[in-house]
């Protein structure tokens, strides 16, 4: 299909620097002459769909985690079924969608509606979500922390407009390709999920049962641990590791006298620590012992993804940590291996061992709770053997996950490039035969605006996505 696509035979200069050449028979029009910026505000709750920026998936327009009769505190805009909503806050996120029912949206959306019969909203949705348009709009934003696009610029943009039959052909083609690409992405996501489950099963088995299938077991008394090898010690964390929370951040007390980079909760991911662009706080030399980290320290998240942790490997000479993180150190270096404790914490967190059962409250792992949690500890030599086994075994799985994530990223890039090339007239989709089921597939994909995409089932993929070189 893609291999049969060719450039248009005759092009003309659009007179627009970022648009360049367009097909000779296409018009070049100002956006505001084709679409109205509808401003119909209301402060009243009403029956219908409510859309905030976070409800729109970037670059796809898929609506997620939204619903009806959602409460809101400020004025919102009304929209009609089929209107194009363009998120003007941080336009580089490409929050563009076209809901197929009436509703209200936050004021950060432009509500755009065709004002002439020579343009369709479905085509304009594709055009406004194209990478070429998004980059042009983003280059004109104002505001450093909260960059916004201005309707005066967007409305004044010159865009390429094909005839109506060609607009419809473009929409059909892009919907069909979008459906195929998303099927591939969901297949990749399912593979990642299965790999993560396999990884978790391997870790859980190793840190609760060890590697010897014939070893005698005993009850651990801890639900998520179950039975553990008879010679392992089951003990509260406080008996094996010292625990310390980081320094409370007080911006009013930052003098710059003792500047030191520090880690936040967000900087600590599973088995990975971010050290780029770290903020600064004052930590005096006499506080170094308590509020800085050294090689082999285990950092554990107190909130958010509770229990998420990583080992510090001396990535920089001196670094502090904020109160949102626990620092764990073995009480006896001859007794415990921090890397094994990392795997224990990962297994516990994935089993919801740190969930206190209060679903209505924000998850929070206090120092008292962490110190009281009980874990099973093999002798140090066995800990080292288990760590070596897990590091080697999981390396292949991690590489497969990383490779699959890269493939997903390339699929997103391919889709963005394809949309831009088609809606700006770089590729001709006229005369391309689509499968008879294309319209049904698209209808099915967009029929339920209130649900997120889920990982696809076990069906075999019958189509093969063409390479970009095609």
pLDDT digits (tens, 9 = 90+) for 196-221: 999 999 999 999 999 999 999 999 99
Quick one: 431 and 317 in the same domain?
no
Say what the pLDDT of residue 434 is: 83
CATH of the domain at 441: 3.90.220.20
159 — phi, psi (to 5°)? Answer: -125, 155
Domain range enclosing 295: 211-377
Domain-embedded: residue 422: yes
353 — phi, psi (to 5°)? Answer: -65, -25
For residue 357, pLDDT beyond 80: no
Could you tell me how far CA 64 lies from the centroid of its own chain? 13
Quick one: 373 and 419 in the same domain?
no
Quick one: 46 and 180 in the same domain?
yes
Q: What single DSSP character describes residue 67? A: E
Helix axis angle, 338-350 relative to 380-423, nearest 10°?
60
Quick one: 336 and 220 in the same domain?
yes
Percentage of the chain surpassing pLDDT 90?
Answer: 75
Mean pLDDT across the stretch 9-13? 94
* pTM of the full structure: 0.81
For residue 447, pLDDT beyond 50: no
Percentage of the chain surpassing pLDDT 70?
Answer: 86
For residue 245, pLDDT beyond 50: yes
In 170-308, which ranges are E strands?
A: 217-219, 227-229, 233-236, 241-245, 259-263, 268-269, 272-273, 280-282, 298-301
Quick one: 259 and 334 in the same domain?
yes
pLDDT bin (cut points 50, 70, 90) of residue 359 is: very low
Quick one: 240 and 357 in the same domain?
yes
For residue 455, pLDDT beyond 60: no
In 47-142, which ranges are E strands?
A: 49-51, 67-68, 76-79, 84-87, 96-97, 103-105, 109-114
Quick one: 422 and 370 in the same domain?
no
Domain-embedded: residue 388: no
Quick one: 411 and 295 in the same domain?
no
Residues 407, 401: Cα–Cα separation, whole Å: 10
439 — phi, psi (to 5°)? Answer: -65, -40
End-to-end CA distance of the chain: 9
Quick one: 354 and 254 in the same domain?
yes
Residues in a beta bridge with 321? 263
The answer to whether residues 337 and 389 touch, using CB atoms and an 8 Å cutoff, is no
Residues 294, 296: Cα–Cα separation, whole Å: 6
Domain-embedded: residue 461: no
Domain-embedded: residue 460: no
Q: How would you class 171 by CB atoms within 10 Å of its CB: exposed for 0-12, middle for 13-18, buried for 19 or more? A: buried
Quick one: 81 and 227 in the same domain?
no
Q: Which residues contact 183 (CB under 8 A, 6 or more apart)?
A: 456, 461, 463
Domains identified in the chain, total number: 2
Domain-embedded: residue 192: no
Quick one: 72 and 139 in the same domain?
yes
Residues 378, 390: Cα–Cα separation, whole Å: 15
Using one digit for the tens of pLDDT, what is the confidence trace for 141-168? Answer: 988 789 999 999 999 999 999 999 999 9
Domain-embedded: residue 287: yes
Say what the pLDDT of residue 373 is: 95
Say what the pLDDT of residue 71 is: 58
Domain-embedded: residue 298: yes
């Amino acid at each position: 299909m893609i291999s049969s696509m060719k450039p248009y035979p005759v092009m003309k200069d659009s007179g627009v620097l970022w648009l360049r050449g367009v097909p000779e028979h296409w018009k070049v029009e100002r956006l505001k002459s084709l679409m109205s910026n509808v401003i119909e505000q209301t402060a009243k709750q009403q029956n219908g769909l409510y859309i905030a920026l976070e409800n729109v998936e970037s670059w796809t327009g898929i609506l997620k985690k939204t619903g009806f009769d959602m409460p809101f505190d400020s004025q919102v805009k009304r929209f009609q079924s089929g209107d194009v909503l363009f998120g003007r806050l941080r336009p580089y996120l490409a929050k563009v969608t076209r809901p197929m029912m009436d509703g209200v949206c936050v004021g950060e959306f432009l509500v755009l509606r065709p004002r002439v019969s020579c343009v369709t909203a479905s085509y304009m949705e594709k055009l406004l979500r194209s990478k070429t348009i998004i980059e042009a709009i983003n280059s004109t934003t104002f505001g450093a922390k909260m960059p916004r696009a201005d309707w005066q610029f967007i409305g004044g943009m010159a865009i390429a407009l094909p005839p109506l039959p060609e607009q419809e052909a473009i929409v059909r083609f892009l919907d069909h390709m979008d459906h195929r690409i998303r099927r591939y992405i969901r297949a990749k996501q399912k593979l990642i999920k299965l790999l993560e489950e396999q990884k978790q099963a391997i870790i859980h088995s190793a840190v609760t049962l060890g590697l010897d299938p014939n070893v005698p077991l005993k009850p651990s008394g801890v639900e998520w641990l179950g039975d553990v090898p008879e010679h392992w010690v089951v003990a509260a964390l406080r008996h094996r590791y010292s625990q310390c929370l980081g320094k409370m951040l007080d911006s009013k007390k930052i003098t710059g006298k003792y500047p030191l980079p520090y880690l936040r909760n967000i900087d600590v991911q599973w088995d990975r620590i971010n050290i780029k662009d770290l903020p600064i706080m004052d930590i005096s030399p006499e506080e170094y012992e308590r509020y800085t980290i050294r090689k082999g320290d285990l950092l554990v998240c107190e909130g958010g993804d509770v229990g998420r942790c990583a080992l510090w490997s001396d990535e920089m000479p001196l670094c502090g940590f904020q109160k949102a993180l626990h620092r764990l150190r073995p009480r006896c270096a001859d007794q415990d291996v921090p890397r094994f404790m990392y795997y224990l914490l990962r297994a516990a967190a994935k089993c919801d061992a740190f969930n206190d059962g209060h679903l209505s409250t924000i998850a929070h792992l206090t120092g008292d709770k962490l110190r009281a949690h009980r874990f099973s500890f093999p002798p140090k030599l066995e800990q080292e053997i288990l760590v070596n086994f897990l590091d080697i075994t999981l390396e292949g799985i991690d590489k497969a996950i990383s490779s699959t994530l890269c493939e997903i990223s390339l699929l997103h890039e391919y889709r963005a490039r394809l949309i831009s090339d088609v809606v700006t007239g770089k590729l001709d989709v006229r005369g391309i035969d689509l499968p008879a089921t294309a319209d049904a597939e698209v209808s099915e994909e967009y029929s339920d605006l209130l649900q997120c995409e889920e990982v696809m089932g076990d069906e075999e993929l019958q189509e093969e996505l063409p390479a970009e070189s095609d």
